[in-house]
């Protein structure tokens, strides 16, 4: 399935798809979606620190068994927590993408915090990165 929608986060994308259907059909839709969905990408355009335009911060949800189960059971609000495996399965939260841009000097701290889903997560990633002396997105 290839589609576009207007949702900033992968979990919200799934919620919006399910909500398109009448209430009595939602369980069936969740079951089908859980079995058919491979990935969801959501992008947010954020201003560059140098003022030269915008850059796309992309949340990537590659649907794995845990995420399929959450969708199937209608626990979509927990999908974001399942994404926070810090890239082990290729998933990237919007906050991780924003933090990487901040760490690399592409966007400002203010921009990262303004566009983040959870500003506390940005601050936590920063603290972790300062302790390790490299971005949490660097898995080496």
52-85 residue pLDDT tens? 999 999 999 999 888 999 999 999 888 888 887 6
* 48 within some domain: yes
* Cα 25 to Cα 79: distance, rounded to the nearest angstrom: 21
pLDDT mean across residues, the chain: 87
What is the tally of structural domains in the chain? 1
Q: Evaluate whether 103 touches 128 at the Cβ level (below 8 Å).
A: no
- Residue 128 in any domain: the answer is no
Residue 9, pLDDT score? 85
* C-alpha–C-alpha distance, residues 32 and 113, integer Å: 36
* 124 occurs within a structural domain: no
- 75 lies in a domain? yes
Whether 106 maps to a domain, the answer reads: no
Is residue 32 domain-resident? yes
Range of the domain at 85: 10-93
Q: Is the predicted pLDDT of residue 137 greater than 80, yes or no?
A: no
- Does residue 119 sit within a domain? no
Q: What pLDDT band is residue 38 in, cutting at 50, 70 and 90?
A: very high
**Three-class SS of the chain:** CCCCCCCCCHHHHHHHHHHCCCHHHHHHHHHHHHHHCCEEEEEEEEECCCCCCEEEEEEEEECCHHHHHHHHCCCHHHHHHHHCCCCCCCCECHHHHHHHHHHCCCCCHHHHHHHCCCHHHHHHHHHHHHHHCCCCCCCC
**Radius of gyration of the CA atoms of the chain, in A:** 16
């Amino acid at each position: 399935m290839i589609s576009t929608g207007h949702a900033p986060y992968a979990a919200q994308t799934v919620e919006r798809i399910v909500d398109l259907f009448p209430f009595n059909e939602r369980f069936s839709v969740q079951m089908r979606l859980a079995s058919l969905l491979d990935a969801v990408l959501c992008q947010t355009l954020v201003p560059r620190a140098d003022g030269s335009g915008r850059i796309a911060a992309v949340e990537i949800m590659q649907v794995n068994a845990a995420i399929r189960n959450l969708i199937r059971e209608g626990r979509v609000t927990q999908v974001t927590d399942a994404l926070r495996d810090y890239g082990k399965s290729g998933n990237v939260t919007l906050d991780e993408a924003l933090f990487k841009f901040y760490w690399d000097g592409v966007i400002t701290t203010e921009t990262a915090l303004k566009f983040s889903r959870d500003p506390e997560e940005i601050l936590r990633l920063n603290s972790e990165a300062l302790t390790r002396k490299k971005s949490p997105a660097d898995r080496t």
